[in-house]
Amino acid sequence: MSDVLDQTIADLGPQVARGSVKAEALVERCLERVAARNPSLNAFITVTADEALAAARQADAEIAAGRHRGALHGMPVSLKDLIDQAGTPTTAGSRVRRDHRADRDATVTTRLRDAGAALIGKTNLHEFAFGTTTEDSGFGLARHPIDPARSPGGSSGGSAIAVRTGMSLASVGTDTGGSIRIPAAACGVVGLKACHGEISADRVVPLSRQLDHVGPLARSVTDAWLMYEAMRGEPRRCGEQLEGVPVRGLRLGLLRAYAFDRIDADVEASVLEAVERLRRAGAEIDEVRLPHAPDIAAIYLHLVLSDAAAYHTPTLDSRPGDYTPNVRLRLEMGRYVMAEDYVRAGLGKRVIRREVEAALDGRHGLLLPTLAIPAPPLGAATVRITQGDEPVRTAMLRLTQIFNLSGHPAISLPCDPTPAGLPVGLQIAGRRDGTLALLRLARTVESVIAHA
Amino acid sequence: MTLDQWLADAKADAERRGVEGLPALLETLAAATAALRAADWNDVADGPSPVDEESA
């Protein structure tokens, strides 16, 4: 049998339910992995070992007594340190909040506890979720689990590292412009952004409430589904399967223009190979366009800067030196956006939503890369792509922020790595209010693209 | 206010407040704002209301 830390929640659930794998042993293995790898990767800001072990022992006792709560019962799960876990600090990756202590759980935390998850700790992030690399954290930068000279992506970088390395079997992240999907793609795990508002953001430190999404990072589409359902308050039973959809008859739109205009050649080849495998399996794939896609970055920038600045104004004035320099400057920039331009950006957001709706008309989903580049080197301001040099932040946000503006559900799943062994993410966007349908589609895509 | 005037005022304010590095970032914001103002949806001030769109 393979190492338990190489398995998924869906694999382990029945073993824990039978008692052949003890939840306590599972949590102990994750804590050993944290002890071995966290000093170099810096995925966790706080490790709640005692709390996780107590939850695991309780799970083992309940299961032995015949009270099994479902698929997540006894499973080690981590939370991005932007989400309240009662009794622990929610630092948001910032020294600004170093004295904080949550007096109660966020709604998603409560739901995961109710589903029986063992909360193993709070993961590192780009300060206040305002960045894509997890380099600007008040608690030190995080490193990529395959190449420590690279960024794991962000802002939920610690969550992606934890899932990839087995420090936890799944994690909860947040996504305002791509902060779940970007690190998922960079680290080779699955990341889901559901529809806007579908998963509670109560007691989650905001970046932009109109763009913020809470969602899972996991090792498979099925595990992402199990987490998604539990976070909605609908935990699935152990052994329940996420049924895929028949690949024949699938109609998918490839966002060829814009999504492939400024891209790394290896990423392009990997994503197009995944698309070709879907075609060979019987999916009908045509090209779609978003006419205002070139305006997306400007729309997003004006909304996120203004919303973030409004939240941070008191501490920008009282404790400016407690922010990391880059994040402080971006927040300060937001204080200069004019009201009329914020309104224009709001209008543009609705234009993008209508165009994504139109692109999905008659189709089950849209296909595009998650990230236009592989995980970038730490410290890099620009990266070289086929078309020239590109700012790292621009390259990393370009293909994910679309669906924060539109509110449509989107998921990133691994496709073939680059020749250098770096992960690549395929992104699929689904219909509004259709997260479950997107997950079923992604389950099929995951199965098809795994086979050359 | 024109974008040029806004940028000059914003940079002067950032310098007065001593926020080092901010004037250069404001140039980036100004470029994005120029793109936003040039977008064609601004020409349709009587487009569908957000309430109508939400209920569609």
3-state secondary structure of A190: strand
Please check whether residues A134 and A280 belong to one and the same domain: no
Q: What is the pLDDT along chain A (452 residues), one digit of tens a residue?
A: 578 999 999 999 999 999 999 999 999 999 999 999 999 999 999 999 999 999 999 999 999 999 999 999 999 999 999 999 999 999 999 999 999 999 999 999 999 999 999 999 999 999 999 999 999 999 999 999 999 999 999 999 999 999 999 999 999 999 999 999 999 999 999 999 999 999 999 999 999 999 999 999 999 999 999 999 999 999 999 999 999 999 999 999 999 999 999 999 999 999 999 999 999 999 999 999 999 999 999 999 999 999 999 999 999 999 999 999 999 999 999 999 999 999 999 999 999 999 999 999 999 999 999 999 999 999 999 999 988 999 999 999 999 999 999 999 999 999 999 999 999 999 999 999 999 999 999 999 999 999 76
pLDDT, residue A387, reads 87
A318 inside domain: no
Task: Give the list of residues 6+ apart from residue A134 with CB closer than 8 angstroms, or none.
Answer: A124, A125, A126, A141, A142, A151, A152, A153, A154, A155, A157, A158, A183
The terminus-to-terminus CA distance of chain B in angstroms comes to 36
Separation between Cα atoms, residue A270 and residue A229, nearest integer Å:
30
A440 inside domain: no
Separation between Cα atoms, residue A118 and residue A77, nearest integer Å:
6
pLDDT, residue A452, reads 64
Contacts of A338 in chain B (CB under 8 A): 1, 6, 33
Please check whether residues A359 and A404 belong to one and the same domain: yes
Count of other CB atoms within 10 angstroms of residue A446: 22
Please check whether residues A194 and A285 belong to one and the same domain: no
Partner-chain contact A333 B29, CB within 8 Å:
yes
Contacts of B6 in chain A (CB under 8 A): 336, 338
Please check whether residues A367 and A418 belong to one and the same domain: yes
The half-sphere exposure of B6 on its side-chain side, counting CA atoms within 13 A, is 18
Please check whether residues A106 and A11 belong to one and the same domain: yes
Separation between Cα atoms, residue A161 and residue A186, nearest integer Å:
10
A408 inside domain: yes
A334 inside domain: no
Please check whether residues A183 and A257 belong to one and the same domain: no
pLDDT, residue B1, reads 83
Nearest to A432 by CA among A349, A351, A346, A361: A361
Contacts of B50 in chain A (CB under 8 A): 350
Please check whether residues A98 and A214 belong to one and the same domain: yes
- A-facing residues of B in 1-56 (CB < 8 A) are 1, 6, 10, 13-14, 19, 21-22, 25-26, 28-29, 32-33, 35-37, 39, 41-42, 47, 50, 53
For chain A, how many structural domains are there in total? 2
List, by residue number, the catalytic residues of A.
80, 155, 179
Please check whether residues A384 and A429 belong to one and the same domain: yes
Query: Do strands A424-429 and A213-218 pair parallel, antiparallel, or not at all (unpaired)?
Result: unpaired
CATH number at residue A129: 3.90.1300.10
Å between B23 CA and nearest CA of chain A: 9
The half-sphere exposure of A161 on its side-chain side, counting CA atoms within 13 A, is 37
Q: How many residues does chain B have?
A: 56
Please check whether residues A154 and A262 belong to one and the same domain: no
pLDDT, residue A386, reads 87
Burial class (CB in 10 A: 0-12, 13-18, 19+), A325: exposed
Please check whether residues A193 and A268 belong to one and the same domain: no
Separation between Cα atoms, residue A324 and residue A92, nearest integer Å:
12
∠ Cα A256 A258 A260 (to 5°): 55
- B-facing residues of A in 319-338 (CB < 8 A) are 325, 329-330, 332-333, 336-338
Does the beta carbon of A339 lie under 8 angstroms from any beta carbon of chain B? no
Partner-chain contact A348 B47, CB within 8 Å:
no
Check pLDDT > 60 for residue B50.
Answer: no
Does the beta carbon of A350 lie under 8 angstroms from any beta carbon of chain B? yes
A236 inside domain: no
Tokens of A406: 């539109």
ipTM (interface predicted TM) = 0.90
Please check whether residues A71 and A153 belong to one and the same domain: yes
A421 inside domain: yes
Does the beta carbon of A343 lie under 8 angstroms from any beta carbon of chain B? no
The terminus-to-terminus CA distance of chain A in angstroms comes to 25
pLDDT, residue A170, reads 98
Q: A387: domain range?
A: 252-290+352-433
